[in-house]
Amino acid sequence: MTKIVDLRSDTVTQPTAAMRAAMMAAPLGDDVFGDDPTVNALQEKLAALLGFEAALFMPTGTQSNLCAILAHCGRGDEYIVGQLAHTYRYEGGGAAVLGSVQPQPLVQDASGQMALADIAAAIKPDDCHFARTRLLCLENTWNGHPMPASYLQQASALAREKGLAVHLDGARLFNAAVASRQDGESALASAKRIAGHFDSVSVCFSKGLGAPVGSMLCGSKELIARALRIRKMAGGGMRQVGLLAAAANHALDHHLERLADDHALAQRLAQGLQGVNGLTVRSAQTNIVFVDVADGRGPDLLAHLKARGVLATGLIGLRFVTHLDVDAAGIDHALACIRTFFDQPATAVAAPAARGAAVY
């Protein structure tokens, strides 16, 4: 049986044998009572690593971002966010639905940045006609792009000058950290430097780090206390969740620096696609490669790949994501299948694939 090369997302990884062993060995308690030692240790560890006072383990990144926004903002307040950012476009409108917090989406450029002038212009005056602008939300990485340090500094400085807090959706913060290292920094040092621009940061363990479940919200003690209450209301209080925290802790200890391997595989894929007629490669800075397919043949290509054991997504152009469970042989197999597709006449390809999958 041919091994499936699953490039849909870095969320599809399976726990390694060592990670499973760490989960089974974890001491447990009831986290709703605050006495799961594995969860408590992980929260203290990540908060210290990223330079925050406190942290809170969450089931998902969506809940982590939701708790952050609602902890920063009250009913009738507003947060500024990118038009295509995950916290605005792909998280069910939770801040508005559950918190009555108004999003103010702004246009982003090809690397996910909102213009500083647009951010400044979107901040509302202190007037009863307007929602109160309280928060700026950024995302790093964005569609595989690590945000430049200069932009993070300028955007956060602008927000604070105007009295706003700043939150980072850092679902792939550690991918950004590995790609943005300066002067021989470790990945952790780079991540701490990035996080230093923000009042709160959400980090996902179940993407590039390869844990099965879990995210973490980091911030001040006061912010995390508010987020804990919101997490409870949102149904995020869990019991012997140290099983999952142990997986996240193992990932921090063993899977962080190896993110560079995922980035190298993404480059291998992107470089292998150069020169293929009918394809345009748009991004390969971290572990995500976007490809545009000419003549509307993207759905056919997805079906062709699936029939040959290669999975990808196609909502905003074809997307291929490298991760812990993909190796060089898998990338080379995907490249061979893509080249085979474009060697055939258009009428010889498989039936179109289904559209509409969400982006994770």
The CATH number covering residue 64 comes to 3.40.640.10
Same domain assignment for residues 248 and 263: no
CB 3 within 8 A of CB 314: no
Last residue within a domain, chosen from 254, 280, 302: 254
Residue 348's pLDDT band, with cuts at 50, 70 and 90, is: very low
Which of 346, 329, 225, 179 minimizes the C-alpha distance to 277?
Answer: 346
pLDDT digits (tens, 9 = 90+) for 51-74: 999 999 999 999 999 999 999 999
Looking at 220, 254, 288, which one is the last position of a domain?
254
Q: Decide if 189 is inside a domain.
A: yes
pLDDT for 323 beyond 50: yes
**Whole-angstrom distance, CA of residue 96 vs CA of residue 80:** 13
Confidence label for 358 from pLDDT (cuts 50, 70 and 90): low
| DSSP secondary structure letters along 105-167 | EE-B-TTSPBPHHHHHHHSPPS-TTSPEEEEEEEESSBTTBPPPHHHHHHHHHHHHHTT-EEE
Question: Using an 8 Å Cβ cutoff, are 353 and 306 in contact?
Answer: yes
Which residue would you say has higher pLDDT here, 2 or 118? 118
Asked if residue 95 is part of any domain, the answer here is: yes
Encoding tokens for residue 189? 């040092």
pLDDT of residue 315: 72
Number of domain units in the chain = 2
What is the C-alpha separation between 57 and 217, in angstroms, rounded? 7
Last residue of a domain, one of 232, 254, 276: 254
- Whether residue 303 lies inside any domain: the answer is yes
pLDDT above 80: residue 357 = no
Residue 360 lies in a domain: no
| Residue range of the domain that includes 30 | 17-254
Please return the burial class of 180, using the count of CB atoms within 10 Å of its CB with bins 0-12, 13-18 and 19+: buried
pLDDT at 293 > cutoff 70: yes
Tens of pLDDT along 96-154? 999 999 999 999 998 999 999 999 999 999 999 999 999 999 999 999 999 999 999 99
Tell me, yes or no, whether 234 and 325 share the same domain.
no
- pLDDT tens track for 9-42: 999 999 999 999 999 999 999 999 999 999 999 9
Amino acid at 93: G
Residue 59 in tokens: 């089931």
pLDDT tens digits for range 171-190: 999 999 999 999 889 999 99
Does the pLDDT value for residue 359 go beyond 60?
no
- 238 and 285 inside one domain: no
Sheet holding 318-321, edge to edge: 279-283, 288-293, 318-321
288 plus 247 within the same structural domain: no
pLDDT category of residue 360 using cuts at 50, 70 and 90: low
Is the same domain home to 241 and 328?
no
Examine residue 103 and state whether it is found in any structural domain, yes or no.
yes
Q: What is the model's pLDDT at position 107?
A: 98
- 187 and 334 assigned to the same domain: no
Identify whether 307 is part of a domain.
Answer: yes
* Residue 295 region by backbone torsions, left for phi larger than 0, else alpha for psi between -120 and 50, else beta: left
245 inside domain: yes
DSSP assignment of 302-314, as one string? Answer: HHHHHHTTEE-B-
Output the pLDDT for position 234. 95
Same domain, 229 and 262: no
Residue 7 has pLDDT above 70, yes or no: yes
One domain for residues 233 and 275: no
Other CB atoms within 10 A of residue 146 CB: 23
236/319 same-domain check: no
320: in domain: yes
> Ramachandran region of residue 283, left (φ > 0), alpha (ψ -120 to 50) or beta?
beta
This prediction has a pTM of: 0.93
Mean pLDDT score of the chain, rounded to an integer? 94
